[in-house]
């Protein structure tokens, strides 16, 4: 049988983050030629590597200087006026949209579905018209041909583009631009056809979210129109991250040539495919290799899925479930990983090899080794499993709030208590100490001493500023997840496992590979040292179970909920140790609670049940007199607001400065009555908020929240800022609070 192989997309930051470095150079010195040369080199390297590995069709336009949605804004010529008005070159206009410039705010940045990748949100209004600008795609086609590679260009599909865009006119729906947009795509397809492109891939991940009948109708019209054009390449419409559900029959009833489906997140699709006769005349790109997680594929299972499918489709192409953008490049370079962990891993290059191997196995009937190591657990700790099995409902239940509130009066806090979210600026000296420890230039004792003196300075500064609840400043943490992952059993960290988060920003998610447990206390010595320096309460600072999973690669052989409870039990022990060490306030951060929210409404309640349950298990052992805080980033909570209430934290601090306290009204609507600290200082900006402005925000908050419920704090941690910004901002914050207090 003629089975071919492909992947839906590939990482672009470079195996050693070359693009990040090139971008940062360009932003500093403006040498565009150098940046472009590096970009060309990276593209060629990717194409040639994919070709050498034996992939039949290679996706194009997967390179981006910053983000694929931003590329699409450029492609469709919908650059908002405020950026055009800057009169910059195309490249600098592009970066202005991404990063802002000369007081012009950038496009909004938000999460790409339920991944940890962020895209820039296109802005559309009533007057938007599309002006096609396909130079980038066409240039890459030519470049690739010079290397003997024919590409299948990948662009975001028209529906997903509109559904992810933001309306900037009142009473205007981006979807109303669909007809104009489809015309622009028709033009694009004609140009690609003229350029000799065989297939084009239109990504429509928005189809795996709940869609209205009107949206499904728009889907039908879009692809009926595009697929009946005469001058066009063959059309592959790709969905991923879930099951397109009712969108699938609509989509395949149109005369498109192929559809890519994510059979990893939605294995049930295999049966649906068999029930759709129109697929017998189309290509089905079967995403059987997980593009979002790092485990080796169970090749035997994947192979039998493919064999089943091949009977019910016109032509089968084997692929990854989604773009490989979300995983690191190469596991081979991870020579410090425990070999038992490493042999179970496949990063982007290895996933390509798996796809190729599956293709060979099918078309040449080569036997693959089905007995590979995929799925085998290596940190199998019966004690951890027993403990999870023994969890009681009461373990997730603290004393009633009123009782806690009374018990916590002994902490002695004023109304409008002031605090920060945890981290203080990570100075050059702190980073250098960490690097020096890693390379062996300083020993552990010297490193610890540097951290202690940093903590002492941070405590003294907070006392001087007059904050009520202090923090130790988190100087010892490279990252709020990795720091804990390094200390927990069942977690590994990588050397070069970088994944793009947005633009030049990359993260290195730890790998949770087995049962999780805590061999030793993780934070107690730093917290108790900080507390020993002051009579004010110092908050213990932990990362919550949901965030520990959301920002890691997680084992997929058991429900997330079980893994979350294992992490929660480890944190519960840490909470107990902090309490025993005399810490009276403990903050458990859950900035990722919103992120893991399932894409479909029907799955959300179950998610909130287990995620909230894990948080409550982590904190449920805290005595009534100990105040539990939590912190959440982002102000758009909508769907998780009930979950926030369910966390049952004594105090919840939330990002709110940009949305001018909107979240308070949402919380009031669900009858939230525990402590709440809406951020009054936007730490994402270098700007120092003035006292008057802070007073106005505090007063706005007081309009919906009683003074004894309200806390005053910044939006988020201060680690990315400098002291020159943070010091005056916090002084203004305490000053503003004191002034408002006199009016209570």
Applying CB under 6 A, which residues contact ligand GLN? 421-423, 474, 480, 541, 589, 591, 631, 633, 716-717, 719
Sequence-ordered list of residues with C-beta below 8 angstroms from that of 366, at least 6 positions apart, any chain: 360
Q: Minimum Å distance from CB 653 to ligand GLN? A: 9
Q: Which is nearer to ligand GLN, 309 or 716 (CB)?
A: 716
What is the C-alpha separation between 76 and 132, in angstroms, rounded? 5
Q: Which is nearer to Zn ion, 577 or 590 (CB)?
A: 590
What is the C-alpha separation between 196 and 505, in angstroms, rounded? 35
- One DSSP character per residue, 706-735 reads -TTTBEEEESS--TTS-HHHHHHHHHHHHH
In this structure, what DSSP letter does residue 396 have?
G
Q: Out of ligand GLN, Zn ion, none, which partner does residue 541 contact, by CB within 5 to 8 A per kind?
A: ligand GLN
Q: Out of Zn ion, ligand GLN, none, which partner does residue 571 contact, by CB within 5 to 8 A per kind?
A: none
The single residue of 21, 147, 180, 684 carrying the catalytic annotation is 684
Q: Which is nearer to ligand GLN, 9 or 591 (CB)?
A: 591
Residues 583, 527 contacting (CB under 8 angstroms): yes
Q: Which is nearer to ligand GLN, 479 or 648 (CB)?
A: 479
Applying CB under 5 A, the site for Zn ion has a residue count of 3
Burial class (CB in 10 A: 0-12, 13-18, 19+), 671: exposed
Q: Out of ligand GLN, Zn ion, none, which partner does residue 422 contact, by CB within 5 to 8 A per kind?
A: ligand GLN
Q: Out of ligand GLN, Zn ion, none, which partner does residue 736 contact, by CB within 5 to 8 A per kind?
A: none
What is the C-alpha separation between 215 and 233, in angstroms, rounded? 25
SS3 487: coil
In this structure, what DSSP letter does residue 9 have?
-
* 17 is an annotated ligand-binding site residue: yes
Q: Minimum Å distance from CB 715 to ligand GLN? A: 9
* 306 is an annotated ligand-binding site residue: no
**Residue ranges in 422-461 that form contacts with Zn ion under rule CB under 5 A:** none
* 506 is an annotated ligand-binding site residue: yes
Which residue, judged by CB position, is nearest to ligand GLN in the bound state?
Answer: 717
What tokens were used for 698? Answer: 């505090």
Q: Out of Zn ion, ligand GLN, none, which partner does residue 211 contact, by CB within 5 to 8 A per kind?
A: none
Q: Minimum Å distance from CB 591 to ligand GLN? A: 4
* Residue whose entry in the numeric block shows the structure tokens 């706005």: 700
* 474 is an annotated ligand-binding site residue: yes
Q: Minimum Å distance from CB 526 to Zn ion? A: 20
684 in active site: yes
Q: Minimum Å distance from CB 664 to Zn ion? A: 17
Q: Minimum Å distance from CB 521 to Zn ion? A: 24
What tokens were used for 613? Answer: 């349950």
For residue 306, which of 348, 255, 269, 281 has the smallest C-alpha distance?
Answer: 269
- One DSSP character per residue, 263-317 reads TTT-TTHHHHHHT-GGGGGSEEEEEEE-SSS-BPP-HHHHHHHHHHHHTTSSEEE
Q: Which is nearer to ligand GLN, 60 or 714 (CB)?
A: 714
* 551 is an annotated ligand-binding site residue: yes
Q: Which is nearer to Zn ion, 207 or 632 (CB)?
A: 632
Residues 621, 576 contacting (CB under 8 angstroms): yes
* 136 is an annotated ligand-binding site residue: no
**Residue ranges in 707-726 that form contacts with Zn ion under rule CB under 5 A:** 716
Q: Out of ligand GLN, Zn ion, none, which partner does residue 589 contact, by CB within 5 to 8 A per kind?
A: ligand GLN
Q: Out of Zn ion, ligand GLN, none, which partner does residue 114 contact, by CB within 5 to 8 A per kind?
A: none
Q: Which is nearer to ligand GLN, 57 or 523 (CB)?
A: 523
**Residue ranges in 615-674 that form contacts with Zn ion under rule CB under 5 A:** 633
Q: Out of Zn ion, ligand GLN, none, which partner does residue 468 contact, by CB within 5 to 8 A per kind?
A: none
* 422 is an annotated ligand-binding site residue: yes
What tokens were used for 72? Answer: 């699409």
Residues 621, 639 contacting (CB under 8 angstroms): no
Crossing angle of the two packed helices 604-619 and 560-580, in degrees rounded to 10: 20
Long-range Cβ contacts of 645-649 (<8 Å, 24+ apart): 645/670, 645/671, 645/672, 646/608, 646/612, 646/616, 647/590, 647/612, 647/615, 647/616, 648/398, 648/401, 648/616, 648/619, 648/674, 649/588, 649/619, 649/674
Residue 591: HSE in the Cβ half-sphere, 13 Å Cα cutoff: 15
Q: Minimum Å distance from CB 572 to ligand GLN? A: 19
Residues 384, 601 contacting (CB under 8 angstroms): no
Q: Minimum Å distance from CB 657 to ligand GLN? A: 14
What tokens were used for 180? Answer: 């104009």
For position 591 contacting Zn ion by CB under 5 A, the verdict is yes
Q: Which is nearer to Zn ion, 136 or 719 (CB)?
A: 719
Q: Which is nearer to Zn ion, 158 or 591 (CB)?
A: 591
* 9 is an annotated ligand-binding site residue: no
* 251 is an annotated ligand-binding site residue: no
* 108 is an annotated ligand-binding site residue: no
Which residue, judged by CB position, is nearest to Zn ion in the bound state?
Answer: 716
* 18 is an annotated ligand-binding site residue: yes
- One DSSP character per residue, 153-176 reads EEEE-HHHHHHHSEE-STT--GGG
What is the C-alpha separation between 100 and 450, in angstroms, rounded? 36
Q: Minimum Å distance from CB 480 to ligand GLN? A: 5
Residue positions annotated with a catalytic role: 684
Q: What residue ranges bind Zn ion (CB under 5 A)?
A: 591, 633, 716
Known binding residues for Zn(2+): 631, 633, 655, 716
Which residue ranges are tagged as binding site for 5-methyltetrahydropteroyltri-L-glutamate? 17-20, 111, 116, 505-506, 551, 595
Annotated binding site: 17-20, 111, 116, 421-423, 474, 505-506, 551, 589, 595, 631, 633, 655, 716
């Amino acid at each position: 049988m003629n089975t071919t192989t492909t992947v839906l997309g590939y990482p672009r930051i470079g195996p050693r983050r070359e693009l990040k470095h090139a971008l940062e150079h360009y932003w500093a010195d403006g040498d565009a030629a150098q940046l472009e040369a590096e970009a060309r080199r990276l593209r060629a390297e990717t194409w040639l590597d994919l070709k050498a590995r034996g992939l039949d069709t290679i996706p194009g336009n997967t390179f981006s200087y910053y983000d694929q949605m931003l590329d699409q804004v450029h492609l469709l010529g919908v650059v908002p006026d405020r950026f055009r008005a800057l009169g910059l070159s195309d490249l600098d206009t592009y970066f202005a949209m991404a990063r802002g410039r000369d007081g012009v705010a950038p496009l909004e940045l938000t999460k790409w579905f339920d991944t940890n990748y962020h895209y820039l949100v296109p802005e559309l209004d009533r007057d938007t018209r599309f002006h096609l600008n396909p130079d980038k795609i066409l240039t890459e086609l030519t470049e690739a041909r010079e290397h003997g590679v024919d590409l299948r260009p990948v662009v975001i599909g028209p529906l997903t583009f509109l559904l992810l865009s933001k309306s900037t006119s009142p009473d205007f729906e981006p979807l109303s631009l669909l007809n104009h947009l489809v015309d622009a795509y028709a033009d694009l397809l004609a140009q690609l056809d003229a350029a000799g492109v065989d297939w084009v891939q239109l990504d429509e991940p928005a189809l795996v979210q709940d869609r209205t009948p009107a949206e499904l109708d728009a889907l039908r019209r879009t692809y009926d129109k595009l697929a009946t054009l005469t001058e066009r390449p063959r059309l592959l419409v790709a969905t991923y991250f879930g099951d397109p559900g009712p969108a699938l029959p609509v989509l395949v009833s149109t005369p498109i040539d192929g559809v890519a489906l994510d059979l990893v997140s939605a294995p049930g699709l295999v049966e649906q495919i068999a029930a759709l006769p129109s697929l017998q005349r189309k290509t089905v790109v079967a995403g059987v290799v997980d593009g979002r997680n790092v485990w080796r594929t169970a090749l035997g299972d994947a192979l039998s899925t493919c064999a089943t499918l091949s009977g019910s489709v016109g032509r089968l192409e084997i692929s990854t479930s989604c773009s490989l953008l979300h995983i690191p490049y190469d596991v081979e370079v991870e020579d410090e990983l425990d070999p038992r962990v490493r042999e179970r891993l496949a990063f982007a290059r290895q996933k390509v090899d798996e796809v190729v191997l599956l293709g060979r196995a099918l078309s040449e009937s080569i036997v693959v080794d089905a007995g590979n190591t995929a799925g085998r657990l290596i940190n199998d700790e019966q004690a951890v499993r027993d403990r999870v099995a023994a969890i009681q409902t009461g373990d997730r239940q603290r004393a009633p709030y009123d009782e806690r509130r009374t018990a916590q009066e002994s902490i002695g806090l004023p109304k409008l208590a002031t605090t920060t979210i945890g981290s203080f600026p990570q100075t050059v000296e702190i980073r250098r100490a960490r690097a020096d420890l890693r390379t062996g230039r300083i020993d552990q004792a010297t490193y610890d001493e540097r951290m202690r003196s940093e903590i002492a300075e941070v405590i003294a500064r907070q006392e001087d500023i007059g904050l009520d609840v202090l923090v130790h400043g988190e100087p010892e943490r490279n990252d709020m997840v990795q720091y804990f992952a390094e200390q927990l059993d069942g977690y590994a960290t990588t050397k070069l496992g970088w994944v793009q988060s947005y633009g030049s920003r990359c993260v290195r998610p730890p790998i949770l590979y087995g049962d999780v447990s805590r061999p030793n206390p993780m934070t107690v010595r730093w917290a108790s040292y900080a507390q020993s320096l002051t009579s004010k309460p110092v908050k213990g600072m932990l990362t919550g179970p949901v965030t520990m999973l959301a920002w890691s690669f997680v084992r997929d052989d058991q429900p997330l909920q079980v893994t979350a409870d294992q992490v929660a039990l480890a944190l519960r022990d840490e909470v107990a140790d902090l309490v025993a060490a005399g810490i009276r306030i403990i903050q458990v951060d859950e900035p990722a609670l919103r992120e893991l929210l399932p894409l479909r409404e029907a799955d959300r309640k179950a998610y909130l049940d287990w995620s909230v349950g894990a948080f409550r298990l982590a904190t449920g052992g805290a005595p009534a007199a100990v105040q539990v805080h939590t912190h959440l980033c982002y102000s758009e909570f909508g769907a998780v607001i009930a979950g926030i209430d369910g966390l049952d934290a004594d105090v919840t601090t939330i990002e709110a400065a940009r949305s001018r306290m909107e979240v308070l009204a949402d919380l009031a609507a669900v009858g939230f009555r525990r402590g709440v600290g809406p951020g009054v200082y936007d730490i994402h900006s270098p700007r120092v908020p003035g006292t008057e402005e802070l007073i106005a925000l505090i007063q706005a908050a007081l309009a919906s929240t009683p003074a004894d419920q309200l806390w005053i704090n910044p939006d988020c941690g201060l680690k990315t800022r400098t002291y020159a910004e943070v010091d005056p901002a916090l002084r203004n914050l305490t000053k503003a609070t004191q002034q408002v207090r006199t009016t209570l």
